Chains A and B, each alone.
Chain A
Amino acid sequence: MSLFLIVALPFLGAVFPALLIRAGRNACSWSAGVTTLLAFIGLMINLPAVLRGEAVTARLDWLPWLGLNANFFLDGLGFLFATLILGIGLLIILYARFYLSREDPMGQFYTYLLLFQGAMVGIVLSDNILLLLVFWELTSLSSFLLIGYWKHLPEGRQGARMALAVTGSGGLAMIAGMLILGHIVGSYDLSVILQNKEAIQSSPLYLPALILILLGCFTKSAQFPFHFWLPHAMAAPTPVSAYLHSATMVKAGLFLMARMWPVLSGTPEWFYIVATTGLITMLIGALIALFKDDLKALLAFSTVSHLGLVTMLLGFGTEIAAVAAVFHIINHATFKAALFMSAGIVDHETGTRDIKRLGGLRHLMPVTFTIAVIASLSMAGLPPLNGFLSKEMMLEETLHTAWGHSHLLVPGLAVLAALFSAAYSFRFIAHVFLGPKRSDYPAHPHDPPVGLWLAPAFLVVLVVTIGLNAQAMVGPLVKVAASAVTGGELPYFKLKLWHGFNTALLMSTIATIGGLILLVSHGGLERVWNALPRPEAKTIFDAVIRALTGLSRVVTDTLHNGAISRYAMIFVTFTLAIAVYAYFTGTMTLPTRDAQDAPLLPTLAWFCLISATAMLTFLHRNRQLALVLIGVVGLIVSLSFNYLSAPDLAMTQISVEVVSIILLLLCLNFLPKTTPVDSSLTIRVRDGVIAGVAGVGSAALIYAVMIRDFSFPTISEFHLANSYKGGGGTNVVNVILVDFRGFDTFGEIIVLGIAALVIFALTEAVLASNVRAYLLNRKPEWPQSGDAHPLMMVVATRVMMPIALMVATYIFFRGHNLPGGGFIAGLVAAIAYVMQYMASGFTWAAERQRIFYHGIIGSGVLIAAATGMGAWFNGLPFLTSAFGYVHLEPLEEFELATAALFDLGVFLAVLGAVMLALESLSRFAWQPGMVTEHAMDINPKRDDPPPEPDPDADPDQPATEGGT
């Protein structure tokens, strides 16, 4: 079967349980089991090839640009691990089917489990280290889900997070390490990398790469000091613990060390880092396991210890040590999985995993007892079980290992670790199964149904048979796997129970006897242990995370404190700093233009502007005054534009100015009329300094610009030259706006239209909220005068408004050739309407003539766009203009231009937008009772009609005239 399929099957299988959640527990477990079985079978088909020493490969280019490819290969090592993963996986699926209770979502469980399984298979079959990284991180993620499977347990949540944090971060380090490795070799394909030992080990980047990769391995395989997450991962359901935390995931780190062994090992760095870490982990894990009362915690620390053992063996860097490592991986997987399952059964049946509450179960649960005893004794390293064999090999290897100059350190500590190991294994048997039967089990324990004990029983059978006949059972497998680890021929070895009386056996004996002694004296030792101050990893981890979170919170909340006044300060300061930097790293020539002299008039205007601005800045707290001053500034700016040959700008500026002031006045009606002092003097001085620097900067910049010529001829020379003959207008600014750069103008009217829409939408949103009630009950801040709509104003408007509309029309039509155009015309027309609204009130005017400003805006934009698209029919691009001169007798010749149509769009959009905005704002002040009945409040003609009624001089009653 293709390797792709073997890797893909578990992932495919993960889909079924998710889909079959409603189909029942059996369907879920069956689908999971069958896919796993298929993958297993697929794997086994490759057994002959693997045993022949061939590597089965499958390649697929995924991301050649990066070198990340879906390349797989299967050699002895991969085969061994894949067998463990899929084989034990099958047993776990079986076991879990009976272990999980009715309330547990079975589909989810199997989905996660198979995801994990697929990721693991992926790791061990990857022939591309980037691909391997993908699977590597996937195992972290899926194990996160599995550990947190029981969502109601806080320990599950915390354990899952801790596992993810530790293994995830290791994975990140490994990414860096792998990338470095890939760069040294020039390829991310394992098969290539494994050929480049020389290049790698001689590279200056060897040590960084080694450390980074080992960080990944150590975190994953729970090596000291990253071992602390594993016991907390025990909050997972027991099948998960048995699978991930004994047989598979934690072995991923070992796998990788074994995988990389040919190119990374053999250096002192490797030895001292790997072997030492392994040794310490083995010792500490065993020691802690001895004092754990929780069955699973005991097993977890035991796992830590055994992982340390394998790590140490790999660290030794010798071929035989590698063989021992491979062999122990197999053995540990069998007995530890069996033990976890047994612990699960005990938990399941008695309702507790606390050793202190257990004891005497051997009669109540004979089957479980048998399984647990055999597995425990293997863990203790007693003959004739498989644990004994690999432990012997380990001890033997320690004897050949010198740490620094000491030849005793490693063997001595190894014996000590083996001693602890024996002790906790014995304790597992003695304190759970032996001793008197108790009366206070939380449940009534008895042996479980066969479904639960079948899987561990099978494993125990393996434990025994491998122990008795290792060479036949696993010899070839170990051989191919180990030669894959070493990457070459192995020295002769034979897996056997009896090597004669040698030092290793002596060490074993010491360990066993010592273990028994420790078991006997456990009570006393426990008191000593509990009295000792020990760093509790979880507390530290929690504290670190809490501190990290707290610190993040402080940093984040301080940096992003929601104070835009500060954000703006930072913005301005940063911009200034960068701009000053850019300036001073550049070069500058002397001015090339003479400054023009300043006559009296501009100087006066300048003086007005400066005074008004200064006053505005210092007296801005009086908001009404500030608006008057803004008016002065706008007026002067407009005048300056006039003076500086920009009549179009001047008109636009002043029109926009007035409409803005009206908007601001409408708004200020509701706002407080003064601004309180919020900032301290220091802050104000600081802001003043920043503002001053910014002012100097902008002034200097524009001054430097103005006293220099353009470095190149400007594109506007073209505009001046082509405005009349190509654009049909003599007002070049207008031709630029509606023709050369008509697309800008198109965008601009859309901006204006959107602004009006936004304002309208905001009004609707605010008036739909409880603000409406506030507005209805709002009293004016100061007494209002009488006579809201003075007669004089109304009458003046009746004349002025038509004239203003006339002016707007005039401005519109002349714009193409003289200052003016659709935009200014639109504003003037809008102001004409505003005049009417101010005179007689919004409601009165609106009632007389309902204008759908939405429609005006929309039609404006559509007319502009349609004009632009008209050019398409001539095969010309959007916004291509056309114009012609019409001569109709007896009229004089006049011009017709599509630009005028475009400008009409502009006019309408502007008019509609301004009016919609004003209308929306006015609605805030509108109150239901407030119907303005008359155009003017005082009208003597209305109040006392003349003696002879004249139909033409009807009072301005809406009833008589409004309906037209």
Chain B
Amino acid sequence: MAFAGELIISFFLIVSGIFGFVGSFGLLKLSDPMSRMHAPTKATTLGVGGVLIASILHSLFMEDHLSLHELLITLFLFITAPVSAHFIAKWHIHRHETPESLPDAGDDGVWATHDIEDDEDAAEMPR
């Protein structure tokens, strides 16, 4: 049992290490800015998730008590990582893309980041 525990823990540790590496390596290797974003948001998150699971298992198998609070960090990361990525993507769109370089936005005409009010006073106007 203990060996199985060790095995599982080690597995999670190694896998998460690989994903953690991939996440940052992708950030370095991938050339275009949008692609770069992919690697860290997922791989790194997953990597951390793996470490956290390893930690839970470690306390379960090695210290004989159930400690789930690592799940909380996982929860945080799963909620926040997409939002962070979303913001950075918006920054990229804002800076480096034009309405023409993006696919057509359908009925809405334009993507939200490009939806800039020309008139300074527009905010005051009733919708």
Contact = CB atoms under 8 A, between A and B. Distances in A.
Q: Do chains A and B touch in the complex (CB under 8 A)?
A: yes
Nearest to B82: A792
Interface stretch (B20-28, B52-60, B108-116): B108-116
A535 interface: no
B113 A786 contact: yes
A784 B90 CA distance: 11
B121 interface: yes
B115 A786 contact: yes
B112 A784 contact: no
B87 interface: yes
A154 B36 CA distance: 81
A792 B123 contact: no
B86 interface: yes
Contacts of B90: 785, 787, 790
A937 B80 CA distance: 20
A937 B79 contact: no
Contacts of A786: 110, 112-117
Contacts of A783: 116
Interface string B91-127: 1011000000000000000101111110011011001
A803 B121 CA distance: 37
A57 B14 CA distance: 104
Most buried by A among B82, B83, B114: B83
Nearest to A928: B124
Nearest to B94: A785
Given A784-B116, A799-B79, A930-B123, A790 B87 contact: yes
B112 A937 contact: yes
Interface string A799-824: 11001000000000000000000000
A796 interface: yes
A929 interface: yes
Contacts of B113: 785-787
A755 interface: no
A931 B113 CA distance: 20
Contacts of A790: 86-87, 90, 112
Interface in B63-86: 75-76, 79-80, 82-83, 86
Chain B residues touching A, range: 20 to 34
A921 interface: no
A724 to B, nearest CB: 23
Contacts of A897: none
A796 B121 CA distance: 30
A537 interface: no
A665 interface: no
Nearest to B121: A929
Nearest to A943: B127
A723 B80 CA distance: 39
Chain A residues touching B, range: 10 to 19
Contacts of B110: 786
A779 B121 CA distance: 12
Contact of A793 (B87, B93, B114, B121): B87
A796 B83 contact: yes
A938 interface: yes
B112 A800 contact: no
Given A785-B94, A790-B87, A929-B121, A796 B79 contact: yes
Interface string A928-945: 011101000110000000
Nearest to A807: B72
Contacts of B121: 929
A589 B120 CA distance: 71
Contact of B86 (A792, A800, A938): A792
B116 A938 contact: no
A852 to B, nearest CB: 27
A823 B127 CA distance: 43
A792 B83 CA distance: 6
A624 B53 CA distance: 36
Contacts of B124: 929, 931
A787 B87 contact: no
A799 B76 CA distance: 10
A255 B93 CA distance: 95
Contacts of B83: 792-793, 796
A783 B93 CA distance: 13
A800 B123 contact: no
Nearest to A927: B123
B58 to A, nearest CB: 18
Interface in A762-790: 779, 783-787, 790
A784 B91 CA distance: 10
Nearest to A938: B112
Contacts of B87: 790, 793
A929 B121 CA distance: 7
Contact of B123 (A785, A796, A929, A938): A929
Contacts of A930: 123
Contacts of A937: 112
A793 B75 CA distance: 16
Contacts of A785: 90-91, 93-94, 113-114, 116
A795 to B, nearest CB: 9
A839 to B, nearest CB: 9
Contacts of B93: 785
Contacts of A779: 120
Contacts of A787: 90, 112-113, 115
B6 to A, nearest CB: 22
A212 B117 CA distance: 83
Contacts of B80: 796, 800
Contacts of A929: 121, 123-124
A783 B127 CA distance: 22
Contacts of B120: 779
A803 B93 CA distance: 31
A786 to B, nearest CB: 3
Nearest to B86: A792
A929 B122 CA distance: 9
A785 B90 CA distance: 8
Interface in A415-474: none
Nearest to B125: A929
A930 B121 CA distance: 9
Nearest to B75: A803
A786 B93 CA distance: 11
Contacts of A799: 79
B101 to A, nearest CB: 15
Nearest to A940: B108
B7 to A, nearest CB: 25
B122 to A, nearest CB: 9
A938 B79 CA distance: 20
A580 B67 CA distance: 53
Contacts of A793: 83, 86-87
B103 to A, nearest CB: 17
A931 B112 CA distance: 19
Nearest to B83: A796
A513 to B, nearest CB: 101
B97 to A, nearest CB: 11
Contacts of A938: 112
A240 B91 CA distance: 84
B68 to A, nearest CB: 14
A134 to B, nearest CB: 72
A108 B110 CA distance: 85
B109 to A, nearest CB: 12
A959 to B, nearest CB: 14
Contacts of B75: 803
Given A783-B116, A786-B117, A792-B82, 18 more contacts: A785-B91, A785-B94, A785-B113, A785-B114, A785-B116, A786-B112, A786-B115, A787-B90, A787-B112, A787-B113, A787-B115, A790-B87, A792-B86, A800-B80, A929-B124, A930-B123, A931-B124, A938-B112
10 contacts: A785-B90, A785-B116, A786-B114, A786-B117, A792-B86, A793-B83, A796-B79, A796-B80, A931-B123, A931-B124
Interface of A: 779, 783-787, 790, 792-793, 796, 799-800, 803, 929-931, 933, 937-938
Which A-B residue pairs are the 7 nearest by beta carbons? Answer: A786-B115, A787-B112, A785-B94, A929-B124, A796-B83, A785-B113, A786-B116
